[in-house]
Structure 1
């Protein structure tokens, strides 16, 4: 009887997959509207709507470093209509810092496609230090005077600075903010000594406010910042870039995930798609997930190592 039920269910499943999508698709962003991740989600939604013939509705479920959005998608039906814009924060750093986060970033999600990356740049105010060596010298001379801002505890910004601080052999005071915008305001006003900022935002910032670029996390010098050395050049070991990827609840039918991944890559590859991604300052690295893809597991493993080295905690 169980075998017969399985045979009867199979044609229905095939018909459902063939008809996909027959209604709007939900794409959850774990970060607030107007931020970089939200803008990327809405850009992807606009690019996909034409090829799929259905609207892609972006929903912002924010809080706890994006993990509330991830939890919502984990609990959603695995029917091909629920997706999450995963980030290094939600699928690597958060679960490492908080084992009770409520989801397994590998087992509870299926990868649809990798999307984009961006690195970070170490900034100082226009009246501040002009090199990493200068920052280290100032910190060693007067440790209490050196402060660095981030968008919160456990962010890539904090991890990068703690790796730098430990390897550089100096002390600094961490000043966490609710978001990068307030930290940037204090940096440009000279109320912070330094901070790491994502490269796209830093480049946009420099067009209106002068800042000093000290070093980038990327393995190679950034094309837009050719005179800014890499941390690697300066003898500091740090992560290269952070990632964004599209994931679905575990068990989402593979044919649907493959079709969505194919449509996504095709959309990003169009002239409009390339232009929109470039306007966001991101480096496109799209790839449709392979069978038994290890990307999410590899990402988690790599960042677990960086978190351990940084010695930060969620407290």
Structure 2
């Protein structure tokens, strides 16, 4: 004990007479403490999807508002691929200091835990902070297609088993699994064509490379409004205000078919509570911004803004729901 006191005394004496020694000693003690001045530098939001895609578009709108509120740049870093696993891994490799956020979604933060037997991360590795947007999928075909209804699509799939193809934003994404569920519910078959994000998948459908797709509403809506895609049904319980003339899947004759996508903000589980609390306060405040709410509704989404407790409970329930879906359908992505 006497030795420790002597070393401490010597360090204080040297720090007083040698500024360069002080610079070595003081940061070592401070580095173990939470960043009281957070945020003092730019933040990064990792998006596990392609630029211009369904996850990317609302997060960029959100990032602009968050930047204005915090007075710091907020950089969007796209890391597409592997059903959101690549982006999630990148976020978990970053220091848990409140400067790297993950734009989590239903795929990597709910579906993957049941879809993959050997996943490189666990639910407890992340803290669910708040939701940003949610939206149903919409079943679409190219506007030049002869398919004009869900019944038409089912009839063609049954007359040409395994011939028609459907695109998705990637293996394990909701656009993929919704297509698989559609095949099971209707007793049909089709070829799944995965892409690296919703934008290239939609581009392929527009080019006639695939026959149909369960696209996220925010991604499909501009093309529907432009007359390039034809909506057949939405995967919601009620019709969507942005597509009032488009039936639900139940109205189109396919019962028990609901699929809602969502996007939220997550951070590493080791983020200091003080910083996580500050971040949560600012995230929820941004989601109350009237301009952002209007922008989210304009692209066909439902604005979020749940508390950390509410959103965490929601994500847990989503994992359980998709686990039941995989168990019932006997699907596996390994």
TM-score range, shorter chain: 0.7 to 0.9
C-alpha distance 224-90 of structure 1, shift in aligned 2 (>3 A): same
Q: Distance in 1 between matches of 2:311 and 2:137?
A: 30
* Alignment-derived partner of residue 62 in structure 1: 80
* Alignment-derived partner of residue 271 in structure 2: 252
Superposed, 1:90-129 pairs within 5 Å as 90-104=108-122, 106-126=123-143, 127-129=145-147
Q: Distance in 1 between matches of 2:109 and 2:317?
A: 11
Corresponding position: 1:163 with 2:181? yes
Between stretches 240-249 and 16-25, larger displacement belongs to 16-25
Q: Distance in 2 between matches of 1:26 and 1:107?
A: 21
Return the match for 2:62 from 44, 65, 71.
44
Q: Distance in 2 between matches of 1:22 and 1:186?
A: 43
Contact preservation (8 Å) 1:188, 1:209: no
- CA drift of 1:88 comes to 1.0
C-alpha distance 291-253 of structure 1, shift in aligned 2 (>3 A): farther
* Alignment-derived partner of residue 271 in structure 1: 290
Superposed, 1:106-255 pairs within 5 Å as 106-126=123-143, 127-188=145-206, 190-233=208-251, 234-255=253-274
Between stretches 115-124 and 189-198, larger displacement belongs to 189-198
* Alignment-derived partner of residue 11 in structure 2: none
* Alignment-derived partner of residue 286 in structure 1: 305
- Asked which structure has the greater CA Rg, the reply is 2
Contact preservation (8 Å) 2:129, 2:312: no
Contact preservation (8 Å) 1:45, 1:56: yes
- CA drift of 1:48 comes to 1.2
Contact preservation (8 Å) 1:154, 1:312: no
Give the unaligned 5+ runs of structure 1: 2-10
Q: Distance in 2 between matches of 1:240 and 1:229?
A: 14
- CA drift of 1:185 comes to 4.3
C-alpha distance 281-80 of structure 1, shift in aligned 2 (>3 A): same
Corresponding position: 1:81 with 2:86? no
- CA drift of 1:193 comes to 3.0
Q: Distance in 1 between matches of 2:47 and 2:58?
A: 9
Q: Distance in 1 between matches of 2:124 and 2:332?
A: 24
Between stretches 200-209 and 137-146, larger displacement belongs to 137-146
C-alpha distance 33-188 of structure 1, shift in aligned 2 (>3 A): closer
- CA drift of 1:310 comes to 4.5
C-alpha distance 29-191 of structure 1, shift in aligned 2 (>3 A): closer
Question: TM-score by structure 2 length?
Answer: 0.81
- CA drift of 1:117 comes to 0.5
| Matched positions, count | 305
Q: Distance in 2 between matches of 1:58 and 1:20?
A: 19
Q: Distance in 1 between matches of 2:298 and 2:311?
A: 33
Q: Distance in 2 between matches of 1:182 and 1:18?
A: 42
- CA drift of 1:89 comes to 1.4
Contact preservation (8 Å) 1:258, 1:289: no
Q: Distance in 1 between matches of 2:204 and 2:45?
A: 34
Between stretches 279-288 and 157-166, larger displacement belongs to 279-288
C-alpha distance 57-150 of structure 1, shift in aligned 2 (>3 A): closer
* Alignment-derived partner of residue 5 in structure 1: none
Question: TM-score by structure 1 length?
Answer: 0.85
What's the secondary structure of 2:139's corresponding residue? strand
What's the secondary structure of 1:119's corresponding residue? strand
Give the superposed CA RMSD: 2.8
Corresponding position: 1:304 with 2:323? yes
